[in-house]
Amino acid sequence: MVPQTAQHGRALVRRSPSRKPSLAGTLTIAWFMVQALVAAPPALSQATQEQEALTYTGLIEELDAGNVARIEVDSSRGIAQVFLKGGNDQPQQVPLFADEQYNQPVFEAALNNNVSVVSQPSSDNNVMAWLVNALLMFLLIAGVLMIFRRSANASGQAMNFGKSRARFQMEAKTGVMFDDVAGIEEAKEELSEVVTFLKKPEKFTAIGAKIPKGVLLIGPPGTGKTLLAKAIAGEAGVPFFSISGSEFVEMFVGVGASRVRDLFKKAKENAPCIIFIDEIDAVGRQRGAGIGGGNDEREQTLNQLLTEMDGFEGNTGIIIIAATNRPDVLDSALLRPGRFDRQVMVDLPGYRGRLGILQVHARNKKLTPEVSLEAIARRTPGFAGADLANMLNEAAILTARRRKEAVTPLEIDDAIDRVTIGMTLAPLMDSQKKRLIAYHEIGHALLMTLLPHTDDLDKVTIIPRSGGIGGFAKPIPSEEDIVLETRARLIDRITVYLGGRAAEEEIFGHDEVTQGAQSDIQAVAEYARNMVTRYGMSDLGPMAFERAPGGEVFLGRDLMNQAPEYSEEMATQIDRQVREIAVRCYSEARRLIRENRELVDKLVDLLVDQELIEGTEFRKIVSEYTTLPEKDSLPVSV
């Protein structure tokens, strides 16, 4: 058992913070280490250690007996090395007195017996002393140089604090060209004029056209805004400055404005050139009115950026390209013509765009002939370029993990599910829980198949996924699902969302429903409220009572305008309309489940056994019991 004091001491050792030794401490430790080496007596050989130690009195006796050959005296160490006759040339060390008068008997005995006494200072001691002096001198010089170097670095950082941190390339060797950017042909066409202007400005100046000063790339994350800027630089072959908006802003007021001035100064010296500012919303947010304070550093940086882009001095030959996915938060002064003359939308790609992106990213992937990029493009509406690249990379990783030579359609399918839903977990072992989840998912899948204004079922499974997903019924989204939504499609979508809860209540009863429909009910509330308050799809008429979500509150503008846009009486009617939509759709979902109970039980048995049913097989089974409706995706003329 360890004593309490020892435990406390160990705790102190563990908790004590590690401190970096100072220069003076290092020199002190080195000094004591060297002194210890100098003061340490030389190790005796094994033969000498085995001999009996010779004392001061014994030395006189040996001298009188004539057994001593010679004596070497090391006065600096106070030691007499005695060489005996008939010995093995290994001297014995005899300590002498510090006072010379006490050593006279030894010298007299040596003189009387004709024994030579030689004063021989220790050569080892001289060498060690020289090493000590050299080491101390080296440490002293190194310490002085270190102090000067730290001082120089500190002063250099202080002098460069306001310098621009933009990465500069005299020749833009980004390695990206327009051929490497696919899916955003409209944006490429607009920006190709900028490249032509940089290469052949006389083509435009001859008819009086001026080069655009700024181009703002706007689009959702992952659509290729930064990649497009690299392609512009690679195509133009002009000096290229690249910086992020967050690199302008620092803790100290005035540093960001100084960096903006330094950046444009360097750009003017290398004109014509391109300045690319990524995530410009970090520095270009709308300026407040001073209510509750503000960010003086960011606002001064923005003011300096506005001045440099369109001030008294012209920036001929400098094109500023900026990228953001939040154009709604940018200051209006930054967006006016003369600063950002063009705003290019880099939106989510359509079918042809996704196909082009897949062809670009599939160049270095080994795909089997069964893999169809056209089929993948049709299955992935709503995917950005980064999503498609990530999906193909996940498919390649799965292929390597499964030790296959090339990517097959199975890996593509698993990769799409992993990107959109989550990673596959171990299948459920509890048969009762497994059957409950199967009824829930079959409720979604069956309504998705029976209702006319929904997308076709892709697959239904009860294999768990990461994020707490016990199973899912996945539709094949259509292109129109992203652009247009009819009232009939929204009603059927709400009904499909309620299919899982409806199946639980019809099969197990009102008291046995679970919280598994939590996310479904949240989606129902959102869709139903948007239909009433934003889309005008209710009995209240074509009225918009709420603004679109996602906007941020800016001090001095939106903070004072947060009052409700309708009366309390209208709020009651809105709540009544939202509830009516949800209740009507839930009743329809329960009716369809009730009328197809035999079909539901058969599909559940099959799903529990196989754990996954493909959409084609599912529709084939349903068609044996009832007539499938004809799916319509767009409204027709009446």
Catalytically active residues are 441
As beta bridge partners, residue 93 has: 81
Q: Give, for 347, the enclosing helix (H) or strand (E).
A: none
User: What tokens appear for 503 in the block?
Assistant: 């199946």
Using CA atoms, how far apart are residues 25 and 27, in angstroms rounded to an integer?
A: 5
Quick one: CA dihedral 74, 79, 80, 82, positive or negative?
negative
Residue type, 128: M
Locus of tokens 């990769």: 415
What's the distance, Cα to Cα, between the start and end of the chain in Å? 92
Tell me the three-class secondary structure of 110-153, residue by residue. Answer: HHHCCCEEEECCCHHHHHHHHHHHHHHHHHHHHHHHHHHHHHHH
Q: Is 559 helix (H, G, I), strand (E, B) or coil?
A: helix
Tell me the three-class secondary structure of 410-478, residue by residue. Answer: HHHHHHHHHHHCCCECCCCCCHHHHHHHHHHHHHHHHHHHHCCCCCCEEEEECCCECCCECCEEEECCC
The full DSSP string for 585-599 is: HHHHHHHHHHHTHHH
- Total residues belonging to the chain: 638
Q: Is 253 helix (H, G, I), strand (E, B) or coil?
A: coil
Question: Which residues make Cβ contacts (< 8 Å) with residue 89, sequence separation at least 6?
Answer: 83
User: What tokens appear for 281 in the block?
Assistant: 């919303």
Cβ neighbours around 410 below 10 Å, total:
16
Using CA atoms, how far apart are residues 225 and 176, in angstroms rounded to an integer?
A: 13
Cis peptide before 272 (omega within 30 of 0): yes
User: What tokens appear for 598 in the block?
Assistant: 């035999």
Walk across the sheet containing 214-218 and list its strands: 167-169, 240-244, 273-278, 318-324, 214-218, 342-345
- CB contact at 8 A, 448 and 475: yes
Using CA atoms, how far apart are residues 60 and 71, in angstroms rounded to an integer?
A: 12
- For 469, counting Cβ atoms within 10 Å of its Cβ (0-12 exposed, 13-18 middle, 19+ buried), the class is middle
- CB contact at 8 A, 71 and 91: no
Using CA atoms, how far apart are residues 490 and 488, in angstroms rounded to an integer?
A: 5
